């Protein structure tokens, strides 16, 4: 069985690249994986294979497809990192509240 791959929409590639660089992620792919794993955790996905976690959240939360869920998690993460915050402590608190950092 092939490993499940997350494919973000091409329209988000530039934004992912920018946020990854500004926030010292290794790559846009690493950032995407971060958004997906943290988002799935916030939705209470069970431990295990990524594909199983995504399927669980799609069914549990009423998404129409895995692609819709992935796009939603990426957009949610991008918004959290892109919103201008003058105070780094506020940004950290917001990201912690959204589950993107511990």
Average pLDDT rounded to a whole number, residues 42-62: 94
The structure tokens listed for 22 are 């500004």
| pTM (two decimals) | 0.79
**Residue 4 reports pLDDT greater than 70:** no
Average pLDDT rounded to a whole number, residues 24-39: 94
pLDDT band at 91 (very low <50, low <70, confident <90, very high): confident
């Amino acid at each position: 069985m092939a490993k499940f791959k997350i494919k973000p929409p091409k329209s988000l590639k530039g934004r992912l690249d920018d946020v990854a660089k500004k926030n010292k992620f290794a790559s846009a792919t690493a950032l995407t994986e971060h958004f997906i794993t943290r988002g799935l955790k916030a939705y209470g996905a069970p431990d295990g294979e990524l594909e199983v976690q995504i399927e669980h959240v799609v069914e549990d939360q009423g998404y129409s497809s895995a692609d819709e869920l992935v796009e939603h998690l990426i957009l949610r993460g991008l918004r959290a990192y892109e919103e201008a915050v003058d105070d780094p402590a506020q940004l950290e608190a917001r990201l912690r509240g959204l589950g993107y950092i511990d």
